[in-house]
Chains A and B, each alone.
Chain A
Amino acid sequence: MKLFKNINFDKLKDGLDKTREKIVNRISETVSGKANIDEATLEELEEILITSDIGLETAMEVIETTRIALKREQDRSKLNVLEVIQNELASALDRYSEGPIDKIEIEKFKPYVILIVGVNGAGKTTTVGKLAYNFKQSGLKVVIGSADTFRAAANEQLEIWAQRAGVEIVQKESGSDPSAVAFDTLNVAKRTNADIVLIDTAGRLHTKNNLMEELKKIRKVLGKVVENAPHDTFLVVDGNTGQNALIQAREFEKFTDLTGLIVTKLDGTAKGGVIFQICAEQKVPVRYIGVGEKIDDLQDFDSKKYVKALFELQ
């Protein structure tokens, strides 16, 4: 059964990124009243949404909302359909938003402890470096703890980031207990009167139960040294990740009580649309996005800008 033999996937290759252009045009046309939005356009909308990794279900919901909005508004020339969709999407992301961590909060809990978790290669260590730099720039005293004692040269990697950011780092030799590193880091932070602590952890697939239990233990140790620590636990998600990110969030939430997401690698062509589902399901906001490998390539998450980018050609 060689079904695919005669299939011309070339056409597919060329067409991959054209859709975004087309739909924005088509939808804009409806705004100026030249044309009606039709099923074909809705289907293209579906394509844009799904190819952003937003998931079939969420895509269907958005389309349904759009359809209803269209029905309600008789005079379509008055309706900016694209705006309706974008507002809808942005507000879904804003629902659990808390804004950036503010200084008053940090002062209150000092040292304010942030635990960084995620699967292998998501961008945790880089993000810790960027965060450290940002906090330092805003005048805070930062300490980072290198609780990835597993991956080869993880210590060396974070050390370089600590240097770049100009902050103190606490580490132990490779193979040590990550909880012990966490413990030491908080003690150093207390002793040196630091404002904020970032704990980097080893990458782990959420299916590895023993490694997930390890996170629980780290959290417990943090809480013993500093009351209510960690004050934030951020899941770092690679923006290239598809639907599996939803399961990642679900599992990490079980073991760590997430308070936010950081989406990385959005400087590529991937859109990271799976965050819509994660935000809705875990009721957590996206806090920051990573847009490159440089130390200042970290941005506060802006839902409006993000949603707009979903509909833009790269």
Chain B
Amino acid sequence: MLEDLTLKLEKALKKVTGQVRLNEENISDSLREIRRVLLDADVNYKVAKKFIDNVKEKALGKEVLVSVTPGQLITKIIYDELTQLMGGQSSELGLNPSGPTVILMVGLQGSGKTTFSAKLARYLSERKRKPLLTAADIYRPAAIEQLKQLGSKINVPVFTIDGSKDAVKIAKDSVAYAKENGLDTIIIDTAGRLHVDDNLMNEVASIKETVKPTEILFIVDSMTGQDAVNSAKAFHDRVDFDGVVLTKLDGDTRGGCALSIKAVVEKPIKFASLGEKLDSIEVFYPERMASRILGKGDVVSLVEKAQQQFDEKETEDLEQKLLANKFDFEDFLKQIKMIKKMGSLKSLLGMVPGMSSAIKDADVDDNQLIKVESIIQSMTRDERTNPKVLNGSRRKRIARGSGNTIQEVNRLIKQFGEMQKMMKRFNSKSGRKMLGNMKNFRYN
């Protein structure tokens, strides 16, 4: 299995640390690692090559700042480039504000068009649109029946012509049907087809000609490998789609095909589809995808956020205190304030790799943070720097002053004591190593 990219890069770049400029020789190892990571993530061979050549060009001659290692610098450059290439911003679905909107779904077999059609219908009806689902997959056994069942589940009407062998006519008639019935958004599900199948490609092209869609979406299985460039390009050449939908992202695929497709067709990825339930649809976030391809969670954005907000000097002081075992409630308060500046605790934790799924449903309570803050604020300066003096009557006073129960105050003081104990361990040999890692993590 893959090691984390950062770890690999760190390993590759160990010997570079301390040098001031990146050069051809000292980055070659890490570029090789990056290439491996991209190929393992299914980024197309040529796309990866081009990408790396460019990162290299960019990185050469770069001065390595004191606060970052070359590995970190390169990670950042790669991440930025990747995000850039993935489309920078998320991109909206094109909807006709007045008059009917026609959305046409195209893609290979088994990519998830039918399920996604239903999801999109549900999504749009929640946004005050009146969708109609059109079942125009006349080939796959029971495909029409599948859409009918999905439609009834979400209370969206489904149009088809039973027994028809003419997908173009079904599409055309559905638009008329929508008009007659006051439906403003027609979502046309089509049969899966291979890009090398001329007959079927002609069919989808004539559906396009006939209904003149507002929006054509190319639906791709996010587990697709190297060939994504070929199918995406063929569909693009034939029907010039407007956007891409990545499906089955609830699995563990790294989704490198997203990068490949972007590189060859220059069309935004608009939605992510993440499960078999009909509400598992999300607007696509390019930067999340960039991290996913690199296998890093959203570490980089965490790092960026942290960098903006953390006062370098303050952090260094904190480190000193940690090392000297002098971390007190005063420092704790500072930390809480910093975290608050950076956004909610949950969103912050969500950016840590592996955390986002773990805490998805967990109740990370930001109020808890506010509570802690209020308790510390009710302490005197002396109490904060010297928690030992916190006897019963002081605790009672703090509880009253902060509007909390005495139990809550007790719990915080106990937890803080445990935290201090833990920090003492930092001063052992392995503890120092851990702290070193934390430091890396901070700047990363």
Contact = CB atoms under 8 A, between A and B. Distances in A.
A7 interface: yes
Given A3-B81, A121-B112, A241-B225, A16 B46 contact: yes
B230 A2 contact: no
Interface in A1-50: 1-4, 7, 9, 12-13, 15-17, 47, 50
Interface stretch (A83-91, A103-111, A154-162, A255-263): A154-162
B50 interface: yes
Interface in A133-160: 150-154, 156-157, 159-160
Contact of B227 (A120, A160, A270, A293): A270
Contacts, number: 176
B408 interface: no
Given A2-B84, A9-B263, A56-B36, A245 B194 contact: no
Given A12-B264, A47-B45, A244-B42, A1 B84 contact: yes
A3 B112 contact: no
B221 A121 contact: yes
Interface string B389-426: 00000000000000000000000000000000000000
A51 B47 CA distance: 11
Interface residues of A, number: 53
B412 to A, nearest CB: 37
B81 A240 contact: no
Given A9-B50, A12-B264, A265-B194, A1 B226 contact: no
A93 B41 CA distance: 23
B224 A4 contact: no
Given A121-B110, A268-B195, A238 B226 contact: no
A119 B77 CA distance: 35
A50 B233 contact: no
A25 to B, nearest CB: 19
A238 B110 contact: yes
B142 A160 contact: yes
Interface string A36-73: 00000000000100111101100000000000000000
Contacts of B84: 1-4
A102 to B, nearest CB: 30
Q: Which of B41, B195, B225, B257 counts the most A-chain CB atoms under 10 A from its CB?
A: B225
Contacts of A120: 110, 112, 248, 276
A228 interface: no
A178 interface: no
B195 A153 contact: no
Given A1-B81, A12-B264, A152-B149, A52 B46 contact: no
B256 to A, nearest CB: 7
Interface in B134-183: 139-143, 145-146, 148-150, 153
Contacts of B57: 3
A206 interface: yes
Contacts of A245: 223, 225
A154 B150 CA distance: 12
Contacts of B264: 9, 12-13
B109 A242 contact: no
A208 to B, nearest CB: 8
A269 B195 contact: yes
A156 B141 contact: yes
A207 interface: yes
A243 B227 contact: no
A122 interface: yes
B253 interface: yes
B272 to A, nearest CB: 14
B231 A12 contact: no
A12 B110 contact: no
Contacts of B47: 12
B85 interface: yes
Contacts of A9: 50, 263-264, 266
Contact of B226 (A13, A52, A151): A52
Contact of A267 (B77, B142, B194, B263): B194
A157 B141 contact: yes
A123 interface: yes
8 contacts: A50-B45, A152-B153, A157-B142, A205-B248, A207-B252, A238-B223, A242-B257, A245-B225
Given A120-B276, A153-B146, A240-B108, 10 more contacts: A17-B230, A50-B39, A52-B226, A56-B39, A122-B110, A153-B143, A153-B145, A157-B140, A269-B230, A271-B226
- Rank and list the top 7 A-B pairs by shortest CB-CB distance, nearest first: A242-B225, A121-B110, A242-B42, A153-B146, A160-B141, A270-B227, A157-B142
Interface of A: 1-4, 7, 9, 12-13, 15-17, 47, 50-53, 55-56, 119-123, 150-154, 156-157, 159-161, 205-207, 238, 240-245, 247, 265, 267-271, 274, 293, 314
